[in-house]
A and B are shown apart, each in its own frame.
Chain A
Amino acid sequence: MITTIAIFLPLLGALLMMLLPASFGERNVRYVALGVAAVPLLLGLYIYLAYGANLGAGALSQDVTWIETFNIGYRVGLDGLGFGMFLLSALLTLVAVVAAWDVQRNLRQYFAILFLAEVGMLGVFAAQDLVLFYIFFELTLVPMYLLVGFWGDENRGPAAIKFFLYTFLGSTVMLAGFLAFGILAGTFSISGLDAGAGLGGTAQVALAAPILLGLLIKVPAVPLHSWLLDVYVSSPTSTNVMLSGILPKLGTYGIIKIAIPLLPQGVQPFLPYIAALGVLNIVYGAFVAFAQPDLKALVAYSSIGTLGFILLGAASVNAVGLNGAVLQQVTHGLYSALLFILVGVIAARTGTRQIAELGGLMARMPWAGGLLALGALAAMGLPGLAVFVSEFMSIMGGFEAYPIQGALAALGIVLSAMYLLYMLAGVVFGPVERPEFERVEDAGPVEMTAIVPLAVLLVVLGIFPGLLIGIQRPAVELVLAAIGGS
Chain B
Amino acid sequence: MGVVTAETFVGLIPELVTLGFLVLVLLLGVFNPQSPNQTAALAALGTVAVFASTVVLLASGFSGSFFGDGFVVDNFALYFKLVVSASAFFAVLAAARWAAGTGDAPEYLALILAVVLGSLLLVSMRDLFGIFLALELATIPSYALVAFDRSRRESSEGAMKYLVTGVIASAILLYGMVLIYGVAGSAALADVAEVFTGQLSPVAVLGLVLLVSGFAFKLSAVPFHFWTPDAYQGAPTSAAAFLSVAPKAATFAVLLRILLEGMPEAAATWTSVMVFLAIATMFVGNLFALRQRNVRRMLAYSSVAHSGYILAAFAALQGSAVPTAVEAVLIYSAAYAVMNLGAFLVIDLVGEDSTSYNGLIRNRPGIAVCMGIFMAALVGLPPLSGFWGKAWVIFAGAEAGTVALYVVIGAVVVNSVLSVPYYFGIVRNMFFEEPKEMTEEPKGTGAVTASVYVLAAATVLFGLFVGPLSALARASGLL
Which residues of A are interface residues toward B (Cβ below 8 A)? 65-70, 131, 134-135, 138-139, 141-142, 145-146, 149-150, 156-157, 160-161, 164-165, 168-169, 172-173, 175-176, 179-180, 183-184
Q: How far is the CA of A173 from the CA of B411 in the complex (A)?
A: 11
- CB pair A65–B467 under 8 Å, yes or no, is yes
Closest to A137 in B: B382
Known A-B contacts A149-B432, A179-B394; the reply to A69 vs B474 at CB < 8 A is yes
B416-442 vs A, CB cutoff 8 Å, 1 = contact: the mask equals: 110011001000100110000000000
- CB pair A172–B416 under 8 Å, yes or no, is yes
Closest to A165 in B: B420
Which of A68, A183, A184 has the largest count of B CB atoms less than 10 A from its CB? Answer: A183
Residue B444 is within 8 A (CB to CB) of chain A in the complex: no
Q: A68-B467, A69-B327, A157-B432 are known contacts; what are 19 more A-B pairs with Cβ within 8 Å?
A: A66-B466, A66-B467, A67-B470, A69-B470, A69-B474, A134-B382, A135-B383, A146-B431, A149-B431, A156-B432, A161-B424, A168-B416, A169-B417, A172-B380, A175-B413, A176-B409, A176-B413, A180-B409, A183-B395
B386-422 vs A, CB cutoff 8 Å, 1 = contact: the mask equals: 0100010011001101000010011011001100110
Q: Using Cβ atoms and an 8 Å threshold, which residues of chain B touch A168?
A: 379, 416-417, 420
- CB pair B428–A157 under 8 Å, yes or no, is yes
Known A-B contacts A68-B471, A157-B432, A176-B413; the reply to A165 vs B398 at CB < 8 A is no
Closest to B406 in A: A180
Residue B376 is within 8 A (CB to CB) of chain A in the complex: yes
B338-374 vs A, CB cutoff 8 Å, 1 = contact: the mask equals: 0000000000000000000000000000000000100
Q: How far is the CA of A72 from the CA of B423 in the complex (A)?
A: 29
Q: Using Cβ atoms and an 8 Å threshold, which residues of chain A touch B431?
A: 146, 149-150
Residue B381 is within 8 A (CB to CB) of chain A in the complex: yes
List the 3 closest pairs (A to B, CB-CB), nearest first: A180-B398, A135-B382, A183-B398
Known A-B contacts A161-B421, A179-B398; the reply to A138 vs B467 at CB < 8 A is no
Chosen A-B contacts, 10 in total, with CB atoms closer than 8 Å, are A68-B467, A134-B382, A135-B383, A138-B381, A139-B382, A142-B372, A149-B428, A176-B394, A179-B394, A179-B398
Closest to A166 in B: B417
Q: Using Cβ atoms and an 8 Å threshold, which residues of chain B touch A179?
A: 391, 394-395, 398
- CB pair A69–B471 under 8 Å, yes or no, is yes
Q: Among the listed A138, A145, A156, A172, which residue makes an inter-chain contact with B417, where contact means beta carbons less than 8 Å apart?
A: A172
Closest to A70 in B: B395
Closest to B327 in A: A69
Q: Using Cβ atoms and an 8 Å threshold, which residues of chain B touch A180?
A: 394, 398, 406, 409
B290 to chain A, nearest CB (A): 12
Which of B391, B401, B431 has the largest count of A CB atoms less than 10 A from its CB? Answer: B391
Q: How far is the CA of A68 from the CA of B416 in the complex (A)?
A: 26
Q: How far is the CA of A173 from the CA of B409 in the complex (A)?
A: 10
- CB pair B466–A67 under 8 Å, yes or no, is yes
Q: Using Cβ atoms and an 8 Å threshold, which residues of chain A touch B406?
A: 180
Q: How far is the CA of A276 from the CA of B128 in the complex (A)?
A: 61
B319 to chain A, nearest CB (A): 13
Q: How far is the CA of A183 from the CA of B409 in the complex (A)?
A: 13
Q: Among the listed A65, A134, A157, A183, which residue makes an inter-chain contact with B399, where contact means beta carbons less than 8 Å apart?
A: A183
Q: Using Cβ atoms and an 8 Å threshold, which residues of chain B touch A160?
A: 428, 432
Q: Using Cβ atoms and an 8 Å threshold, which residues of chain A touch B421?
A: 161, 165
Closest to B432 in A: A149
Q: Using Cβ atoms and an 8 Å threshold, which residues of chain A touch B467?
A: 65-68
Closest to B410 in A: A176
Q: Using Cβ atoms and an 8 Å threshold, which residues of chain B touch A131?
A: 391
Q: How far is the CA of A99 from the CA of B470 in the complex (A)?
A: 45
Q: Among the listed A66, A138, A164, which residue makes an inter-chain contact with B420, where contact means beta carbons less than 8 Å apart?
A: A164
Q: How far is the CA of A146 from the CA of B409 in the complex (A)?
A: 29
Q: Using Cβ atoms and an 8 Å threshold, which residues of chain B touch A169?
A: 417
Q: Using Cβ atoms and an 8 Å threshold, which residues of chain B touch A141?
A: 381
Closest to B415 in A: A172
Q: Using Cβ atoms and an 8 Å threshold, which residues of chain A touch B417?
A: 165, 168-169, 172
Q: Using Cβ atoms and an 8 Å threshold, which residues of chain A touch B376?
A: 142
Q: Using Cβ atoms and an 8 Å threshold, which residues of chain B touch A65?
A: 467
Closest to B474 in A: A69
Q: Which of B442-472 contact A (CB under 8 A)?
A: 463, 466-467, 470-471
Q: How far is the CA of A380 from the CA of B253 in the complex (A)?
A: 62
Q: Using Cβ atoms and an 8 Å threshold, which residues of chain B touch A146?
A: 431
Q: How far is the CA of A68 from the CA of B401 in the complex (A)?
A: 21
Q: How far is the CA of A160 from the CA of B433 in the complex (A)?
A: 14
A268 to chain B, nearest CB (A): 22
B195 to chain A, nearest CB (A): 34
Q: How far is the CA of A278 from the CA of B467 in the complex (A)?
A: 41
